[in-house]
Structure 1
Amino acid sequence: METEMEACVSKTVAVIGCIFLTLLYVAILYAPTLILRLPPPSSRTNFLIRRFICAAISSILSLFFSSFILPIRSGEALDIFSVYGIRADHIWQAVGFPLLLTSLMYAGSLVLKCVLLVNSWKTDFDNSELLSLDCIRSLPKTFLSHLSSIASNVGVWRNFVVAPLTEELVFRACMIPLLLCGGFKIYTVIFLCPVFFSLAHLNHLLEIYSSQNCSLLIAFRIVALQLGYTVVFGWYASFLFVRTGHLVAPLVAHVFCNFMGLPVIVARRRGLVTIAFVAGIVAFKWLLFPITKPDLYNYRTENCKCWNGYCLWN
Structure 2
Amino acid sequence: MEDDGALSKPGAVLACAAMASFYVGILYAPTLILRLPPPSSHTNFLIRRFVCAGVSSVVSVVVSSLLLPIKSGQVWHLLGVYGIRIDHIWQAVVFPLALTALMYAGSLTFMSLLLMNSLREDVNCSGGFSFDFFKSISMEAVSSLRSIACSVKHWRNYVVAPVTEELVFRACMIPLLLCAGFQINTIIFLCPIFFSLAHLNHLMDVYNKQQNNWTRAFMIIGLQLGYTVVFGSYASFLFIRTGHFLAPVVAHMFCNIMGLPVLVSPGKGIISVAFIAGVLGFLWLLFPITNSGLYNDRTDNCSCWQGYCSGN
TM-score category, normalised to shorter length: over 0.9
% of aligned pairs identical? 61
Distance in 1 (alpha carbons) for counterparts of 2:28 and 2:43: 16
Equivalent residue letter for 2:240: V
Q: Are the aligned partners of 1:295 and 1:301 in contact in 2 as well (CA < 8 Å)? A: yes
The CA deviation string for residues 82-111 of structure 1, in whole angstroms up to 9 with x for no partner, is 110101101111111101110111111111
Where does 1:190-269 land on structure 2 (aligned, <5 Å)? Answer: 190-269=188-267
Question: Displacement, 1:139?
Answer: 8.2
Question: Displacement, 1:253?
Answer: 0.4
- Give the match for residue 51 of structure 1: 49
Residues 146 and 274 of structure 1, relative CA distance in 2, 3 Å threshold = closer
Q: Are the aligned partners of 2:210 and 2:216 in contact in 1 as well (CA < 8 Å)? A: no
Distance in 1 (alpha carbons) for counterparts of 2:306 and 2:49: 29
Question: Displacement, 1:126?
Answer: 3.2
Q: Are the aligned partners of 1:245 and 1:308 in contact in 2 as well (CA < 8 Å)? A: no
Q: How big is the alpha-carbon RMSD for the aligned residues of Structure 1 and Structure 2?
A: 2.2
Q: More deviation in 266-275 or 140-149?
A: 140-149
Q: Are the aligned partners of 2:299 and 2:307 in contact in 1 as well (CA < 8 Å)? A: no
- Give the match for residue 73 of structure 1: 71
- Give the match for residue 18 of structure 2: 20
Distance in 2 (alpha carbons) for counterparts of 1:111 and 1:308: 42
Residues 308 and 43 of structure 1, relative CA distance in 2, 3 Å threshold = farther
Residues 238 and 142 of structure 1, relative CA distance in 2, 3 Å threshold = closer
- Give the match for residue 301 of structure 1: 299
Q: Are the aligned partners of 2:99 and 2:282 in contact in 1 as well (CA < 8 Å)? A: yes
Equivalent residue letter for 1:272: I
Equivalent residue letter for 1:62: S
Question: Displacement, 1:267?
Answer: 1.0
Q: Secondary structure at the match of 2:62?
A: helix
The CA deviation string for residues 39-95 of structure 1, in whole angstroms up to 9 with x for no partner, is 211221111111111111111111001101011125232211111010110111111
The CA deviation string for residues 125-155 of structure 1, in whole angstroms up to 9 with x for no partner, is 434587568x988987776554332211111
The CA deviation string for residues 252-286 of structure 1, in whole angstroms up to 9 with x for no partner, is 00011111111111111111111111111111111
- Give the match for residue 166 of structure 2: 168
Aligned pair count?
A: 309
Distance in 1 (alpha carbons) for counterparts of 2:101 and 2:82: 25
Question: Displacement, 1:121?
Answer: 2.2
Distance in 2 (alpha carbons) for counterparts of 1:305 and 1:176: 16
- 1:287 matched to 2:285? The reply is yes
Note the residue ranges of structure 1 that are not aligned, 5 or more in a row.
Answer: none
Q: Secondary structure at the match of 2:173?
A: helix
Equivalent residue letter for 2:300: E
Residues 141 and 124 of structure 1, relative CA distance in 2, 3 Å threshold = closer
The CA deviation string for residues 3-49 of structure 1, in whole angstroms up to 9 with x for no partner, is xx969210111001001101110111110111111121122111111
Question: Displacement, 1:310?
Answer: 3.4
- Give the match for residue 310 of structure 2: 312
Q: Secondary structure at the match of 2:148?
A: helix
Equivalent residue letter for 2:83: G
Residue 92 (structure 2) aligned to one of 91, 94, 112: 94
Note the residue ranges of structure 2 that are not aligned, 5 or more in a row.
Answer: none
- Give the match for residue 41 of structure 1: 39
Q: More deviation in 152-161 or 207-216?
A: 207-216
